[in-house]
Amino acid sequence: MKFLGSKVYRYPVFKTYWPFFVGAVATYYLIGKAQSAMENSEQYINDPRHPRFRRGEKDQK
């Protein structure tokens, strides 16, 4: 089978690399949760670089 002038090889990409895909999604999710927890901690809640100031929120949650 040809695709854009090159031969396409049938190789089971998802079957081979599924642990890496799952690990990447889990890592992305956990790092996002850790970032949210740290930016809402007592030490950084009133930092002017906090994203809630960019959204226009001035009150603490």
Q: What is the pLDDT of residue 58?
A: 76
Q: What is the pLDDT of residue 29?
A: 98
Per the document, the length of the chain is: 61
pLDDT at residue 10 in the model: 81
- HEC per residue, the chain: CEECCEECCCCCHHHHHHHHHHHHHHHHHHHHHHHHHHHCCCCCCCCCCCHHHHCCCCCCC
pLDDT score recorded for residue 36: 92
Q: Evaluate whether 8 touches 2 at the Cβ level (below 8 Å).
A: yes
Supply the pLDDT for residue 61: 58
- Tens-digit pLDDT string for the chain (61 aa): 566 777 777 888 889 999 999 999 999 999 999 999 998 898 988 888 888 888 888 776 5
